[in-house]
Amino acid sequence: MKKIQIDFPLLIFVLILVSFGLLSIFNASSYIAYRDFGDKYRYIRDQFQWVALGLTAMTVATFFDYRKLYNLSLPILISAIVLLVGVFIPGIGIYALGANRWIDARFFIIQPAEYVKLGLAIYLAAWFSRKENGRFLAFCLLIGLVLGLVMLEPDMGTASVILVEAAVIYFLSGGSIWKFLAAVPVVGVAGFLLIKFSPYRAARLATFMNIGDSPEHATYHVRQILIALGSGGITGLGLGNSLQKYAYLPENTTDSIFAIIAEEVGFIGSTILVLIFMAVVWRGFVIAVNAKDTFGKLLAGGIISFLAVQAFINLAAQTALIPLTGIPLPFISYGGSALVIDMCAIGILLSISRQSRSKIESTIRKF
């Protein structure tokens, strides 16, 4: 019987992140869960269910031959676009917190933008693995359609992740850098206009540019994040000892969970967490480089790109390097759609690694 080999370091790193995420969610949510629901285990119980589903998706994806996704790429893309449109249909889409980002599937809530990141990576990898001429215009039109739908939700953070992911796959496929450079000013102007004519985005950018001079209510979220980071110091207050989790810090189980983590484990613990994320990204690109076929290379590159960019945006926002944006921290933040999709994506990476394990081991030895 043939021995099945996968990239175990990648698997171990991801499982560490998921396990630490469960611990962090419980630490961050126990007070607000008891306050809002009378049950301090409400959030962690929900997250355990999503982790179980995510592990199932990752296992299935690991032992599913990723090459079969090639022929499924168009249906996957179409279903992703249909779901994006579905968020705007009354009775199907859910309007909450000033946005249309979710679909009510009766038994659970779906966030289509998360599915689009993986679906688009699969489709672009399949498309660009074929040698075709004149594809740049069609590529721009497709990405424009997807980004337009995501921006209408509105969700500029996820749109940024999708844009970078698509650009990485385009470059890995041998696309012309000059065409891309010609499109950069257009993207830059479009981004500026989207911020300029959106009151909440403009206010967020103004707050970021003038944190010290802005009114306290406008910078409350950022100030609470900085208080959490400062309180953590070098070694942290200890697991479970966060003060910001007592309803001071908004979104403390989702977008801002890193601030709670930094408060409890300090600079040293936060650095270790960042290093684990970097290890995941490194293993992902090693898998991409050593994939046996072009489809596998592009797919692995696209997957690890959107995971890396998502983590970078979240961590940069939480350390006040960029304006706040609603991007969860992969494998750590509370939420179902993002976690399941991210773990399924890791499963696909592991599937690709199964087909090229000997080449990966040779590359590792060179380091």
Over residues 203-229, the mean pLDDT reads 70
pLDDT category, 321, cuts 50, 70, 90?
Answer: confident
Residue 336 and residue 110: Cα distance in Å, rounded?
8
Residue 305 has pLDDT above 70, yes or no: yes
Tell me, what's the pLDDT at 79? 94
Contact 272, 20 (CB under 8 A): no
Contact 336, 254 (CB under 8 A): no
C-alpha distances out from residue 89 to 96, 99, 113, 165, Å: 14, 13, 15, 27
Question: What are residue 104's DSSP bridge partners?
Answer: 109
Max mean pLDDT among 198-207, 208-217, 238-247 falls in 238-247
Quickly tell me which residue has 């990576």 as its tokens. Answer: 121
pLDDT category, 339, cuts 50, 70, 90?
Answer: very high
pLDDT category, 336, cuts 50, 70, 90?
Answer: confident
DSSP letter string, 131-176: --SS-HHHHHHHHHHHHHHHHHTT-HHHHHHHHHHHHHHHHHTT--
Structure tokens, 254: 């989702």
Residue 277 and residue 9: Cα distance in Å, rounded?
12
C-alpha distances out from residue 145 to 121, 236, 350, Å: 15, 45, 30
pLDDT above 70 as % of the chain: 85
Q: What is the largest CA-CA distance in the chain?
A: 68
Residue 225 has pLDDT above 60, yes or no: yes
Contact 291, 352 (CB under 8 A): yes
Residue 259 and residue 250: Cα distance in Å, rounded?
11
pLDDT category, 359, cuts 50, 70, 90?
Answer: low
Query: Is 9 or 363 the better-scoring residue by pLDDT?
Result: 9
Residue 281 and residue 329: Cα distance in Å, rounded?
14
Over residues 126-139, the mean pLDDT reads 79
Contact 341, 332 (CB under 8 A): no
Residue 127 and residue 51: Cα distance in Å, rounded?
32
pLDDT category, 367, cuts 50, 70, 90?
Answer: very low
Residue 337 is inside which H or E element, if any? helix 337-355
Tell me, what's the pLDDT at 364? 47
Indicate the range of 85-94, 120-129, 284-293, 327-336 predicted with least confidence: 85-94
Between helix 294-318 and helix 112-128 the angle, nearest 10°, is 140
Chain-centroid distance of CA 135 in Å reads 27
Residue 201 has pLDDT above 70, yes or no: no
pLDDT category, 360, cuts 50, 70, 90?
Answer: very low
Given strand 93-96, what is the order of strands in its sheet? 93-96, 99-104, 109-110
Residue 249 has pLDDT above 90, yes or no: no
pLDDT category, 2, cuts 50, 70, 90?
Answer: very low
| Tens digit of each residue's pLDDT (9 = 90 or more) over 6-55 | 899 999 999 999 999 999 999 999 889 998 888 899 999 999 999 999 99
Query: Is 341 or 252 the better-scoring residue by pLDDT?
Result: 341
Looking at the chain, the number of H-run helices and the number of E-run strands are 13, 3
Residue 355 has pLDDT above 90, yes or no: no
Query: Is 130 or 145 the better-scoring residue by pLDDT?
Result: 145
Residue 183 and residue 181: Cα distance in Å, rounded?
5
pLDDT category, 185, cuts 50, 70, 90?
Answer: confident
Burial class, 37, CB count within 10 angstroms (exposed 0-12 / middle 13-18 / buried 19+) = exposed
Residue 114 has pLDDT above 80, yes or no: yes
Residue 357 has pLDDT above 60, yes or no: no
Tell me, what's the pLDDT at 48? 94
Query: Is 131 or 166 the better-scoring residue by pLDDT?
Result: 166
